[in-house]
Amino acid sequence: MRSSRCHRLPVVGCMLALACSLVLAGCADSGSSKSLTVAGSTTVLPIAEMAAEGYEEQTGTKVLVSGLGSSAGIEAVTNGTADIATSSRNLTAEESSHELVVTVIAHDGIAVIVNPDNPVANLTTEQLRDIYAGKITNWSEVGGADLPIQVVNRDEASGTREAFRTLVMDGVEFDRSAAVLPGTGQVRDVVSRTPGAIGYISIGFVESDYATTSVKSVAIDGVDATEDNVESGAYPISRDLYFFTNGDPQGEAYGYISYVLSDDMDQVIRDAGYIPAHKSAATEEGK
């Protein structure tokens, strides 16, 4: 059995949203001779949906997309109910025992967000860790108002939670009394409406054309959560975004991944708030 390995393909892409990853495999349009199922991360969902749209227009292939979390997507690809898993985290040790092939599609920063009326503009990584561990419980302890901190966390299936745990918590356990929410949109909405709340989301979701409320990102260790700072490596809470396939991508999976990694998708990925993966290291495996 081959260990997991990372490669990048040349590409092209856009997508079309649909439901549950485990159901999707059986729900493809019977009128279409070609279909592809993509399941996983809510963070990667905008890229996957936009790519599905464009790829379907270009090839006629029906691309079914769902966002139930990175872990659900990886499980779906492992058991054969999805062709491609989208993920905002790398594989666990157990997942690495399967024959999954990794493609980095973009780079992302995780923004720490607070209510717009919160005067706190910067936190150190240590302060952030202590907040999420339940050691700092009032905003006055970090230069803010005398207001209890309401910690908002993600559920355990979230790749964003796993990345935050790895990059910020450094082995310290999360506060079990924190509110746990299943998706990026829910975290953003709760923080926008709650004066004492703190949460974390991809920087691509800090500003939203569809939201009726707003949130504010705070600098970490004096570095703002911006695309430029993520691209330069200055922002400390940064990660890669992935596609996983069960073995080398073949056929429609290869074509779709290649579309996502192509120049045609660069601006789409940037518009979504992410940094396109460098294609200079791309290879032509799996064609």
Which amino acid, residue 198?
I
Q: Which residues contact 126 (CB under 8 A, 6 or more apart)?
A: none
Q: How far is CA 229 from the centre of its chain?
A: 18
Considering only residues 1 and 221, tell me which one the structure prediction assigns the higher pLDDT. 221
**166: enclosing H helix or E strand:** none
Confidence tier at 209 by pLDDT (50, 70, 90): low
Confidence tier at 56 by pLDDT (50, 70, 90): very high
Confidence tier at 212 by pLDDT (50, 70, 90): low
Q: Which residues contact 283 (CB under 8 A, 6 or more apart)?
A: 7, 8, 9
Residue 40 zone, left/alpha/beta (φ > 0; ψ -120 to 50; rest): left
**113: enclosing H helix or E strand:** strand 100-114
Q: Which residues contact 153 (CB under 8 A, 6 or more apart)?
A: 132, 161, 174, 175, 178, 179, 180, 181, 199
Which amino acid, residue 257?
I
Joined together, the tokens standing for residue 277 give: 């993966």
pTM greater than the 0.85 cutoff: no
Q: For residue range 240-284, what is the model confidence (pLDDT) as tens digits?
A: 999 999 999 999 999 999 999 999 999 999 888 889 985 433 333
Confidence tier at 210 by pLDDT (50, 70, 90): low
Q: What structural domains and CATH numbers belong to the chain?
A: 5-107+240-281 (3.40.190.10), 109-238 (3.40.190.10)
Quote the crossing angle between the two packed helices 263-271 and 45-59, to the nearest 10°.
Answer: 150
